[in-house]
Structure 1
Amino acid sequence: MFDYIIIGGGSAGCVLAARLSENPDVTVALLEAGPADSSVLIHCPAGLALIAKNGQANWKFDTVPQPGLNGRQGYQPRGKVLGGSSSVNAMIYARGHRADYDHWAAEGNPGWGYDEVLPYFKRAEHNERGADAFHGTGGPLNVMDLRSPNRFGPVFVEAGQQAGFAHNPDFNGAGQEGVGMFQVTHKNGERFSAAKAYLTPNRARPNLRVFTGAHTTRILLERKRAVGVEFHHEGEVKQLKAKREVLLCAGALQSPQILMLSGIGSHDHLLENGIATLHDLPGVGQNLHDHVDVVLVAEAPQAKDLFGLSLTGMVRAIKGIFEWRKLRSGMLTTNFAEAGGFIKSQASEPIPDLQLHFVIGKLVNHGRTTTFGHGYSCHVCLLRPRSRGSVRLDSKDPLAPPLIDPNFLGVRDDMDRLMRGFKLMRHILSQPALATIHGKELPASAAAQSDAQIEHFIRDHADTIYHPVGSCRMGNGPLDVVDARLCVRGIEALRVVDASIMPRIVGGNTNAPVIMIAEKAADMIKTAQY
């Protein structure tokens, strides 16, 4: 018996485990389906390239066929390891725009406006630049500038300025718009995941128990109250009971799946899968959306200090291995997406609606396709898509993956904005700063010149940039799943704490916002009356 059971050892779960176990009078269990975060590929920042190839620590989900992507199935990698996706992502620290959180609050979620969530961002953060009105020091999550940046990140920033975009040295400060270098969740040349920030320093607490290899199959309910969790562990089906609360932190794809497997969801959909309805909550799994993204890749054979598979590249990589092992510096401290920007697809936009990620290597098929030679890539993603999809059950088998349908480009406005973004990205890459290295677009994108060709290229190549949200939406409407305190509507002692609660996706990478959500949730849980 534990006071709190946390389902999912990703970013939110690690934060809750650390914060709730600060009180020695409560007991906390954390259940993570994946292994411990022991692989050197997790801790070495550049190891993410090999993680992408070998699928290590990854659920490796696929979407259902997407009409907006010409019938293709999209790829949905999610972390399956302590730290969750923060152990396998590109480590960019970005919060989104002030307006995102004010929009949450305006939709009936008191306490979630920007001025109210900023203290939680600051509390979580130790920014090596120092504290100011927008940043904190002394928090668990280390945030820093890249230790050994590649020389082409600043070249991209210069190209962005030549294209007419302002330089922004801090995307998380007073304003978001512009081009610049990203800050990253690193420390001393290593990845600093939520597990390393929150969980690792506190694993020895006697009131905290962490179960790895523990795949949750359902939440146990009694009279519409969550009382425990059932899970597969070490070849057995086990149960744990919770005295206070069950905290669901399995992410935007699996939190709704676990709710439905537990009998919480749309009655009709549960009936289709042979699951008894214990609580009819039709919004579970609805409102799924994600940042749809397309990548332009260029060959640059003369730029040998870009990442690439060649004899020169192999020699540099071997040198980088020794440098990282000895000094935790050098080329292997890269997060690959070192520079980028937040820009408007047209001047009339009130805030940036596009994000750019400049990658110092050729990125094809999420990095899973081996490409030879040197080059660079640039992503453009749509920050606030209007398209909405769903997460549904494929069967009542708790070990089967869910049916994931982000409905990419299901609304025409999404395509129009992404097309404008593609043209702006190409405009930046054509500026003199980058033109000096004679980059040449790969044929697939180079052939896309007319609007019709650009649209066809996008539908053939666009996919996620790994930010699914919204499937257990926070609010007070008929399809909302949790209230402003993240409590599941109609069920006692059960909260959802992860990206699935976002009413609308934030305009930026989602890891820092999820950590903020969990920091705020920890305070709400601590002050709850039992």
Structure 2
Amino acid sequence: MPTEFDYIIIGAGSAGCVLANRLSEDPDTRVLLIEAGPRDLHPFIHMPAGLAKLVNQKGVNWDYDTAPEPNLDGRTLWWPRGRVLGGSSSINAMCYIRGVPGDYDDWAALGADGWSWNDALPYFKRAERNSRGDDALHGSLGPLYVSDLRHTNPLSSAFIEAAEQAGYARNRDFNGPQQAGFGFYQVTQKNGARCSTAVAYLDPARERRNLHVVTGALVNRITFENGRASGVTYRHRGGAMHQRATREVLLCGGAINSPQLLMLSGIGPAAQLRRHGIDVVADSVEVGQNLQDHLDICTLYHSTQRITYDRSNELGVVFNYFLRGHSGIGSSNMAEAGGFVRSRHATDERADIQFHFVPAMLDDHGRNRLPGDGYTVHACFLRPRSRGHLELASASAGDKPRLHPNYLGDAEGFDMKMMVECAKLSRSVLTQKAFDAYRGTPIFPAREDLDDAGLEAFVRAKAESVYHPVGTCRMGRDEAAVVDPQLRVRGVDGLRVVDASVMPKLIGGNTNAPTIMIAERAADLIRGRI
């Protein structure tokens, strides 16, 4: 392998795989992609329903925990993040959601020039290969396959029917002209198999002679010469390695690893860096700040019929999936149906609550297996006002940073009011007539008559992350922003951050598709095309 590259990409996740493909399209450009985790060989990565088993696969997961959360009964919350080729796109529920135009226009209003909806839409379309074809809002020629589910559970259909009975519209396309309503999710799947960014972008580029991919390599720091990023040092197979970059280093570690590596490399709040004995390259006080995530509350009921996925014959599911053309339960993403609602507390015209329905019982991310059969509806407030931060635990890349999401920490208490509303609306849908043939006793909460105080206690005891951390390397035109609107790190040259950490604000939905869009547009910025 060469010792020098034009571009070094740190992190082969949702953004890094996109950049590796797009930058290596130029045969005269040498690209190195470095990933801390292994190759995406585990069969449960590629069988969509296997995500339920990936929960306990430590080898493909960074397996983060937050610090005790003061507004959630002092609980530590589990934050799974992908540590494998494809990153979190290799372990997520594959729901393809973009958000709405106002989300990106908010970014532009906050100083992210060039990231409005009209700027972002062409890159969503360029990435997408939608099985329904192309139109004004969708693409059909991109590398990322977006498909309708091959298999759905009768309970998922009952959920959509119940939502209609509760007064909500049916919506066939959450990424269409209107987001609000209930329906089945489209998913990032190709022929019934997961289409991660490793599958969509990296696999087609793997044979290019100018692209080198290194797995099992933990980057320790970015090196600098005369204020310019010059390369990276990393550990690989027990040895210390150093690679030089002649053009740029591109940091794609995600909302946790990217700010951590910036700080380990000397870019961050100077006082914090000095406490850990790290030489300050650039005093950037917002690195690790502005942490946002969607907090999620799950409502569970027992099912009177054994049609849930709780006690499926796992061996039979696997054999049926692989021997019968990626069909059956194995092709399910588990979170088959969902919806978006504009609540009575909404502050503008956008939906502010999102639902995911799972025809199985999920407690503690599925890590706590409950007896019997049941079903779950997730509900999250899409635009939380609380902001958290992360900080270094030490000067070692091997030590996980300390995560302080500060859920429900807004001074006005609006986030809690919205989480109570999430629980109320979940109960409202699940108690409609469509579930009469299936509804058993309530599990969480155990009573159906809780008042607001009771629901607040329920939220504090049971709410969890729905896996959408963003914002810790905020982009903007102001000098305090970590990166400028071209994603260049302020205070140094030759270094960009390209991942969900640059989002100034959470979008109204799942964050994987927006992260892919960011990388698609970043590739054009890097290549001087815009």
Q: Partners in 1 of 2:350 and 2:396 — Cα distance?
A: 44
2:217 is the alignment partner of 1:220? no
Q: Partners in 2 of 1:443 and 1:375 — Cα distance?
A: 11
In structure 1, what is the equivalent of residue 327 of structure 2? 329
2:74 is the alignment partner of 1:71? yes
> Secondary structure at 2:187's aligned position in 1?
coil
Question: Could you tell me how far 1:440 is from its partner in structure 2?
Answer: 2.3
Map residues 229-244 of structure 1 onto 2, 5 A cutoff: 229-244=232-247
Map residues 84-95 of structure 1 onto 2, 5 A cutoff: 84-95=87-98
CA contact (8 A) 1:447 1:453 kept: no
Q: Partners in 2 of 1:103 and 1:225 — Cα distance?
A: 32
Cα deviations by residue, 1:264-308 (Å, 9 ceiling, x for unpaired): 0011111111111111111100000100111111111x3222111
Q: Partners in 1 of 2:289 and 2:345 — Cα distance?
A: 32
Misfit runs of 4+, over 6 Å: none
Q: Partners in 2 of 1:262 and 1:295 — Cα distance?
A: 39
In structure 2, what is the equivalent of residue 380 of structure 1? 379
Question: Could you tell me how far 1:527 is from its partner in structure 2?
Answer: 0.7
CA contact (8 A) 2:298 2:444 kept: no
Letter matched to residue 316 of structure 2: K
Q: Partners in 2 of 1:269 and 1:344 — Cα distance?
A: 41
2:31 is aligned, of 20, 28, 40, to 28
| Matched residue count | 523
Q: Partners in 2 of 1:57 and 1:85 — Cα distance?
A: 9
> Secondary structure at 2:186's aligned position in 1?
coil
1:448–1:247 Cα change, 3 Å: farther
CA contact (8 A) 2:77 2:464 kept: yes
Where structure 2 has 5 or more consecutive residues not aligned to the other structure, the ranges are none
Question: Could you tell me how far 1:198 is from its partner in structure 2?
Answer: 0.2
Question: Could you tell me how far 1:404 is from its partner in structure 2?
Answer: 0.8
> Secondary structure at 1:167's aligned position in 2?
coil
CA contact (8 A) 1:361 1:377 kept: yes
Cα deviations by residue, 1:119-142 (Å, 9 ceiling, x for unpaired): 000000000011011100110000
Q: Partners in 2 of 1:478 and 1:490 — Cα distance?
A: 10
CA contact (8 A) 2:383 2:506 kept: yes
Question: Could you tell me how far 1:369 is from its partner in structure 2?
Answer: 1.2
In structure 2, what is the equivalent of residue 420 of structure 1? 421
Question: Could you tell me how far 1:348 is from its partner in structure 2?
Answer: 5.0
In structure 2, what is the equivalent of residue 269 of structure 1? 272
TM-score in terms of structure 2 length: 0.97
> Secondary structure at 1:442's aligned position in 2?
strand
TM-score in terms of structure 1 length: 0.97
1:443–1:26 Cα change, 3 Å: closer
2:55 is the alignment partner of 1:52? yes
In structure 1, what is the equivalent of residue 401 of structure 2? 402
In structure 1, what is the equivalent of residue 132 of structure 2? 129
Cα deviations by residue, 1:172-229 (Å, 9 ceiling, x for unpaired): 0111111111000011111110100000111010000000001011000112110101
Letter matched to residue 436 of structure 1: A
> Secondary structure at 2:133's aligned position in 1?
coil
Question: Could you tell me how far 1:27 is from its partner in structure 2?
Answer: 0.3
Q: Partners in 2 of 1:85 and 1:76 — Cα distance?
A: 11
In structure 2, what is the equivalent of residue 169 of structure 1? 172
2:490 is the alignment partner of 1:517? no
CA contact (8 A) 1:53 1:367 kept: no
Q: Partners in 2 of 1:421 and 1:348 — Cα distance?
A: 12
CA contact (8 A) 1:44 1:191 kept: yes
1:144 is aligned, of 125, 142, 147, to 147
2:209 is aligned, of 206, 209, 225, to 206
1:448–1:84 Cα change, 3 Å: farther
In structure 2, what is the equivalent of residue 81 of structure 1? 84
CA contact (8 A) 1:445 1:457 kept: no
Cα deviations by residue, 1:16-71 (Å, 9 ceiling, x for unpaired): 00000000000000000000000001001111111113334101000011111111
In structure 2, what is the equivalent of residue 487 of structure 1? 488
Q: Partners in 1 of 2:418 and 2:345 — Cα distance?
A: 12
Deviates more, 1:490-499 or 1:107-116: 107-116
In structure 2, what is the equivalent of residue 305 of structure 1? 307
